[in-house]
Chains A and B, each alone.
Chain A
Amino acid sequence: MDIFLNLVGKNGLIFGFLVIGIIVAFSELFSKKVLNSKIPGSAIAIFLGLVLGYVGGVFSGGEKGLADIAIFKGVGILGGAMFRDFAIVATAIGASFYLVRKAGLLGMISLFFGIGLFFFMGVLLAYAWGYRDAASLCTIGAGACTYIVGPVTGAAVGASSEVIALSIAAGVVKTIAVTIITPIAANKIGLNSPESAMAFGGLMGTSSGVAAGLAATDPKLVPYGAVTATFYTGLGCLICPSLFYILLEMIF
């Protein structure tokens, strides 16, 4: 057993490939045999990933889900920012530059609209929960955008660490919500073309949530959603601590 643990410790990423392979195999089987392929295997695998992330957090008390358990460290490398962004960029190979350019305006409009919508709804909810100072309201509103915009904004406007932690948690909840709801709702909301996927990416913003949700809906849509969603965090980090903060300062 010691030899095995030692081996896994030295080859974390390789063990990560195996672990994800097993999760996918199990999910595909479950989708086919139990659910008659009504829910795609990829959606089940992503959901199962979230469940394992929860279980990992319970066992380790750390911040990186399953990846905080020593032998699953490689899962964290595979699912970390570097591989995630590298693989997202690779999805562009299946996208048409012509279509991206054609839907560019719609994507831009949804970007600004999305950031405004999420921010001010986050602010309203924080207000309803009793927060009254501009810095806290701004940080929680920013957290409703993404889990990166939240802490970046919080640090910029000088929010307390509790509020910053809260904003990160809100952002993670958003990612999870988008991941789960997208494949369920896609048909009903007309999310079925490259153009609509670009608008969707701009509106929702969380690039991991959008990409995971679209992957479970129709993998062909992933690059179009991702190409707009990826501007959301940057734009949010730009607008939330500046323009939106000044607006809130004027009100409170």
Chain B
Amino acid sequence: MKIIYGVALLALSYLIGQWLGEFFGNLLGINANVGGVGFAMIILMVLKEWFIKNSWMSPDIDSGIEFWNKMYIPVVIAMAASLNVKSAVSTGTLAIVAGAIPVVVSFFVFPMILKNFHKN
């Protein structure tokens, strides 16, 4: 039964995080969610550590979150299958070039960022 506590904990983190994201988006006057998922992840990490410190964590609670953690890749596969791949590939060369070339360049830039950061 306790498995629902895990799912509920995840849902709580998700909702507070998304709410914060919407709140900041509103505050900044843009019609977008600013880092809602990121806030939710940080909240979940903090809540988890707090639960462990107080020995409230149980294998059941853990598995309620773990299930969705493991479902991540299947969800991504479903997402890939629901992307507008056809129009992305067929709207013309600029969409493909503007989408792909910066990505390729970034893969070359990435090691430089890591190296420079570690030097400083």
Please tell me if B8 contacts chain A, counting CB pairs below 8 Å. Answer: no
CB distance B38 to A227 under 8 Å?
yes
Whether the pair B80, A53 counts as a contact (CB closer than 8 A) is yes
Contacts of B84 in A (CB 8 A): 53, 57, 63-65, 168-169, 172
Closest to B40 in A: A89
Is there an interface contact between A125 and B78, defined as CB atoms closer than 8 Å?
A: no
B83's contact among A21, A50, A235, by CB below 8 Å, is which? A50
Q: B1: CB under 8 A from chain A? A: no
Contacts of A223 in B (CB 8 A): 41
A86 within 8 A of B: yes
Is there an interface contact between B85 and A53, defined as CB atoms closer than 8 Å?
yes
The complex places the Cα of A173 from the Cα of B23 at a distance, in Å, of 30
Within 8 A of A (CB), among B58-93: 62, 65-69, 71-89, 91-93
Interface size class of B (residues with CB under 8 A): 35 or more
Chain B residues whose CB sits within 8 angstroms of the CB of A177 once the complex forms: 99-100, 103-104
Interface residue? B54 (CB, 8 A) = no
B76 touches A66 (CB 8 A): no
- In the complex, the answer to whether B72 meets A230 with C-beta atoms within 8 Å is no
Residues of chain B within 8 A of A148, CB atoms compared: 32
B-binding segment of A3-11, A29-37, A202-210, A243-251: A202-210
Interface membership of chain A positions 162-182, coded 1 if the CB is closer than 8 angstroms to chain B and 0 otherwise = 000110111111111111010
Instruction: With A42-B77, A181-B103, A237-B34 given, name 13 new contacts (CB 8 A).
Output: A45-B77, A50-B85, A52-B81, A56-B81, A65-B85, A84-B79, A85-B14, A85-B37, A87-B76, A140-B94, A152-B32, A212-B79, A235-B35
Chain A interface residues toward B at CB < 8 A:
16-17, 20-21, 23-24, 42, 45-54, 56-58, 63-67, 72, 75-76, 78-80, 83-97, 100, 106, 109-110, 113-114, 117-118, 121-122, 125-126, 129, 140, 143-144, 148, 152, 155-156, 165-166, 168-179, 181, 185, 189-191, 196, 199-200, 203-204, 207-208, 211-212, 215, 219, 222-223, 226-228, 230-231, 233-235, 237-238, 241
27 contacts between A and B (CB under 8 A): A20-B74, A24-B74, A49-B80, A54-B86, A54-B89, A56-B86, A57-B85, A79-B75, A90-B44, A92-B41, A97-B42, A97-B45, A114-B106, A121-B101, A125-B101, A152-B30, A173-B88, A173-B95, A176-B83, A176-B88, A196-B114, A200-B110, A203-B113, A211-B72, A228-B38, A230-B35, A237-B32
Residues of B within 8 A of A (CB): 10-11, 13-14, 17-18, 21, 24-25, 28, 30-38, 40-42, 44-46, 48-49, 62, 65-69, 71-89, 91-107, 109-111, 113-114, 117
